[in-house]
Structure 1
Amino acid sequence: MTTSTCRDLVCAAADGVELAARDHGGDGSPLLLLHGAGRTLADWARVAPLLAERHRVWAMDLRGHGRSGDGAVPWTFEMAADDVTAVLAACGAPDAVVVGHSLGGMVAARCLERDGRVPAAVNLDGHGMGRPEQYVGLDAAYVRERLGEARKFAGEAGGRPFPPEEFDAVLGHQTGMAAELGIPAELMEAGVRRSLGETADGQLFLRPGRRQARETQEAMAGLDLFALYQRVSRPLLIARSLRPNPSVPGMPPWVDELMAAYVQGLARDLAELARTCPLVTVAGVDGTHAMLLERPAEVAGLVSGFVRGLPGRT
């Protein structure tokens, strides 16, 4: 067993934007870990040390998140995949398996097309909002309208500024959610503090900023994941959470209805994908979308088992 030691790095993207990364050490097949939208590399704090027992492990903050820069151009999956390539080159591991959660999982899948040196990828619960026909039992026009509302809400909520004196309340809300999910509060707090940004007039916000949050939502809406899955030419593991997310206070009642319908369609479509695409493996994790913090040993075992099964990997 190798003891993991962490070291923070700064890498340069192709356009000069600084990309923050963390070296978790370890020996064996290299892995690069990507987080979800509005999150940071701190989400991997419980999983990365377990992976480092068998693998060489790095994590990074995606552009516009955590301590990575924003850049002047719009956020796209192509640029995110290019940023991954830049970090892998800086780490001396261009052939690392890319493992992502949520938005990061979607980026990981895109890396299989964007960078021919990436041998395989893992997408942990990175499904976006899908297509209207994936919402079982609901009219497609109704779903399309609701999805537009949901994306607008998510875009407007991202990067919303607040006065410094409200920071404790924001932090308390986040750690309260952690308690509800059985996640150590200090892990949630570390992610919040790493996400913290400041506007020119002294207001605080949680990254990504307003522009980047809207651009990320637009990018996710424009990505046809299942079409991408059909095109993969190298192994891809897709995992989905098996437990529903808790209801969010203040959200419209149709949100839970929509998500329940989507879960059914997603399970159906992923099962068919696994049946028809020999390079795609589909699995489940006994947790909510917050699986990295809830079920670290299960996630690490799933990822490590997949990587060890790849040709020439250990």
Structure 2
Amino acid sequence: MIDADHITTTVAGTAGRIAVVDHGGQGPDVVLLHGAHRSLLDWEAVRPALSGLRLIAYDLRGHGRSDPPADDDYGWEAHLGDLDAVIAALGLRNPHLVGHSLGGMIAVRHAATRPGCPGVVDLDGFGGGVPGLYPGLSAAEVARRRGEQLAMFTAMAGPEHVDAAQSREIIAAARTAAAAQGWNPDLEEANARRGLTRAADGSRTRRPAPRTLPALMAPLEGWDMFAELRHLACPALVVQGGRRPTLDHLPPDLQELTESLIAGITHEIDALRRESGLVRAVRIDGAAHMVHLDAPEVVGRLIRDFVLASM
């Protein structure tokens, strides 16, 4: 059974304790940043393909075993402050950054605002907070539909505090989803358990708290990830999952919104692939948004080759 509580050290971040696993290893330092509603265990499927690197992973604030911010601050500077704290506490010198989804965007923001970053990898983290990424939809329509989407997902997120029976349901659902996607069910169970902290009365508190979804998504509004990428002073690898998601569960307006966003992102990725610059763009057709779980060996090789080549 995978240890859901795995921690090798805790670092004092700007909002409290940050749970860190220093996997060690010989080679360049690499910090791994997971996506929203996930944990540092996300990288377990990829790690076997990352030999020759020193790997450090941590739970983002309010996720897994890291403390939630008392003020619900999930802004860019808050995330970057935590990353700075991890880098300083572990004595890392200009590490490469690898992130998935929200973690990928944090990695890009770090590379854009902290001098000396040797390279950054963004796995399917593209934002979506600017109207220009939605071809065929006006800015007003994008704003309206994104508001509806956020409200729907927040309402569907469920309670913050759950009893033992509800916890078992969450864990069973994680295993079922893993089996359907071809992922490791034990790893998905551990990830689900890591997002449940036990209270004195035996109940569990979910991390991140479902009510914080708007705060988690707020930094994306108005932020153009592709413009930021094109202005980086260091090499970047951008990996897109090419398999389209199933959208049947969404109402028609939100299906159209998502289809438009996918088209906009694909257009930008294709443009990056044609440009001669510091950004390399790759699409993995057999993988979806969880590209590192869908194709861990392929993603691992891409990361390893990129890091070693940018030294």
Whether TM exceeds 0.5 here: the answer is yes
Report the AA paired with residue 241 of structure 1: G
Matched, 1:216 2:216: yes
Q: 2:56 aligns with which of 55, 58, 81?
A: 58
Structure 2 contact 34–42 (Cα < 8 Å) conserved? yes
Deviation at 1:36, TM superposition (A): 0.3
Deviation at 1:104, TM superposition (A): 0.1
Deviations along 1:14-59, one digit per CA (max 9) or x if unpaired, are: x3621111122221111110000010001111112321x1211111
* Higher relative contact order (Cα pairs below 8 Å, separated by 6+ residues): 2
1:200–1:276 CA distance, 2 compared to 1 (3 A): farther
1:168–1:183 CA distance, 2 compared to 1 (3 A): same
Structure 1 contact 128–220 (Cα < 8 Å) conserved? yes
In structure 2, the partner of 1:3 is none
In structure 1, the partner of 2:262 is 263
Deviation at 1:7, TM superposition (A): 6.2
1:220–1:304 CA distance, 2 compared to 1 (3 A): same
1:200–1:211 CA distance, 2 compared to 1 (3 A): farther
Deviations along 1:111-146, one digit per CA (max 9) or x if unpaired, are: 112322322111100112343332233444333211
TM norm structure 2 = 0.88
Q: What stretches of structure 1 of length at least 5 have no aligned partner?
A: 1-5
Structure 1 contact 19–60 (Cα < 8 Å) conserved? yes
In structure 2, the partner of 1:161 is 160
Percent of aligned positions that are identical: 34
TM norm structure 1 = 0.88
In structure 2, the partner of 1:240 is 240
- Secondary structure of the structure 1 residue equivalent to 2:281: strand
In structure 2, the partner of 1:304 is 304
Structure 2 contact 133–265 (Cα < 8 Å) conserved? yes
1:152-231 aligned within 5 A: 152-158=151-157, 160-164=159-163, 165-197=165-197, 203-210=203-210, 212-231=212-231
Structure 2 contact 240–291 (Cα < 8 Å) conserved? no
Deviations along 1:258-283, one digit per CA (max 9) or x if unpaired, are: 22222111111222244446111111
Deviation at 1:159, TM superposition (A): 6.9
Structure 1 contact 24–48 (Cα < 8 Å) conserved? no
Report the AA paired with residue 81 of structure 1: L
In structure 2, the partner of 1:76 is 75
1:95-174 aligned within 5 A: 95-158=94-157, 160-164=159-163, 165-174=165-174
Structure 2 contact 18–60 (Cα < 8 Å) conserved? yes
1:200–1:77 CA distance, 2 compared to 1 (3 A): farther
Count of residues in correspondence between the two structures: 303
Q: What stretches of structure 2 of length at least 5 have no aligned partner?
A: 1-5
Structure 2 contact 7–19 (Cα < 8 Å) conserved? no
Structure 1 contact 159–206 (Cα < 8 Å) conserved? no
**d(CA) in 2 for partners of 1:227 and 1:22?**
32
Deviation at 1:199, TM superposition (A): 7.0
- Secondary structure of the structure 1 residue equivalent to 2:122: strand
Cα RMSD, aligned residues only: 2.3
**d(CA) in 2 for partners of 1:199 and 1:150?**
32
Mean Cα displacement is larger for which, 100-109 or 71-80?
71-80
In structure 1, the partner of 2:294 is 294
Structure 2 contact 39–194 (Cα < 8 Å) conserved? yes
Deviation at 1:237, TM superposition (A): 1.3
Structure 2 contact 237–280 (Cα < 8 Å) conserved? yes
Structure 1 contact 238–281 (Cα < 8 Å) conserved? yes
